[in-house]
Chains A and B, each alone.
Chain A
Amino acid sequence: MISLKIDGKEIQVPRGTMLLEACRKAGADLPTLCYDEDLRLAGSCRMCVVEAKGRPNLLAACVMPAENGMDIQTESPDVVEARKVILELLTARHKFDCHVCEKDGECKLQDYCYRYGVKESRFSGEGPHFYKEDPNPFIERDYDKCIMCTRCVRACEEITGADAINLEDRGHHAKISTAFNGILADSTCVFCGQCVMVCPVGALTSKVSAGKGKAAQNKKVLTTCTYCGTGCTLELNVNNDKVVGVTSNRDREYSPVNKGALCVKGRFGWDFIHSPERLTTPLIRENGELRPASWEEALDYAAGKLSGIKEKYGADTLAMFTSARVTNEENYLAQKFMRAAIGTNNVDHCARL
């Protein structure tokens, strides 16, 4: 254990603890943009800087190990000045359209500007534009709002392993890009949307949810994805009793299986819920046409057909193929039905959708 002072408070932490954690332990709330506890450290946004007595430079707390005897100030005038200037630099490149932004109310840049009273930037000259037109149906890439935290790049690499995006160019021309700055469909992108999950601002958003409710207006309902047997935890975003989106819950306690990570179906494949094309009654095919029927009629019809086939051709001419989208209990019942009621072992499952 080592001891250090944070905002005047003596605390003890194990050797190797980063200052960020030590500060949080001491009750200091450090702003962070590039830091993400599931990703490799970057230490690049410099929002988490703190002042250490006797050191000329400010220290980025997320990548600086705590040292014995350090005397840290987390909101000294110099620290606040640095954070304000960094925010002003970022706001100078960030396209501000908060009123129509999907992230409004859940945006770290917005929150920190509010916290430090940054109303406008003194750095307001020209700058390069990075918006990327990308015709894919899932992910909007408005890099005019990008703050270059590179969390998306790291998530793509480390969580998904798709390696679809990286950086192009350097200096203030640098931007997030696929190989040859192409569109996602031409890259190794699998549209899992982990990049959307980790983006702290509105640069990466879901096209499927666009315009259906801002992040802060939606109620978040914790549930389990029904697509496959993995059982990922996700949050249904509900607005006016309608599902308008899916977001991740990254809390390990709630999301032990997937820690927030989802696949394209879980994250973007929910729009069937309120689809007018969705089936609401059973249908029976007659003379090549489907007609609505009651459950009673449909079940009788199916039972009759199954019994008929079994009598005429034998039980082993029938088989059951169940879906990953139904629950374990339903799957259990399905095989039980085939074995006990029909009398065959012809049971299979698609395992994954």
Chain B
Amino acid sequence: MANYKDLIASQQGKKGGIIEAFHAIQSEYNYIPKEALEEAAKVFGMSEAKAYGVATFYSYLSTEKRGKYIIRMCESAPCHVAGADAVIKAIENYLGIATGQTTADGKFTLELTECIGQCQATPVITVNSEPIFNVTPDMIPSILSAYK
């Protein structure tokens, strides 16, 4: 796993690029650890309070530990009318967690998201940002069992 200091340093040349640095950190850690946020604030010349404000503003950034695979269920109107609610329930049942939680083994985190721009094939979920199309509740076990 890359060191967070190196990840931040790799984005240092980008003016105002703290969000790019957060992305780089998350691509390794799946969340932004406290020390990494403090380091990023220092490197980008921002107070820690402000950097924390940035990290908590965006719904794809997290300052809390998350699972290895982040499942996001789109629940915007096009996916909603296509049956997103039933899919959420199916995922919750399959994983035994509520939306917003992480499974005990640290494998999956389930989040809701707004439209991800794949509305030609609703309902859509993403797993670590990979979209999966036309999802129905009965597809959930086979989709999720593929993630090891």
Contacts and interface: CB of A to CB of B under 8 A. Distances in A.
A179 B52 CA distance: 5
Interface in B4-62: 34, 37-38, 41, 47-53, 56-57
B76 interface: no
Range, interface on chain A: 10 to 19
A272 interface: no
Given A180-B34, A180-B63, A165 B57 contact: no
Contacts of A249: none
Given A180-B34, A180-B63, A187 B49 contact: yes
B34 A166 contact: no
Contacts of A181: 52
A163 B45 CA distance: 12
A166 B53 CA distance: 6
A168 B47 contact: no
A340 to B, nearest CB: 52
A163 B63 contact: no
B56 A170 contact: yes
A177 B53 CA distance: 8
A166 B50 contact: yes
Interface in B55-105: 56-57, 63
Contacts of B41: 179
Interface centre among A168, A177, A188 (most CB of B within 10 A): A168
B5 to A, nearest CB: 18
Contact of B51 (A164, A177, A179, A188): A179
B32 to A, nearest CB: 11
Nearest to A178: B49
Contacts of A52: none
A167 interface: yes
B53 A168 contact: yes
Contacts of B50: 163, 166
B42 to A, nearest CB: 12
A299 B66 CA distance: 71
A188 B47 CA distance: 9
17 contacts: A157-B47, A163-B47, A164-B49, A166-B47, A166-B52, A167-B53, A168-B52, A168-B56, A170-B56, A170-B57, A177-B52, A179-B37, A179-B51, A180-B52, A180-B63, A187-B48, A187-B49
Given A157-B47, A166-B47, A177-B52, 12 more contacts: A163-B47, A163-B49, A163-B50, A164-B47, A166-B50, A166-B53, A167-B53, A168-B53, A169-B56, A177-B49, A179-B41, A180-B34
Task: Report, nearest first, the 3 A-B pairs whose CB atoms are least far apart.
Answer: A163-B47, A179-B48, A166-B53
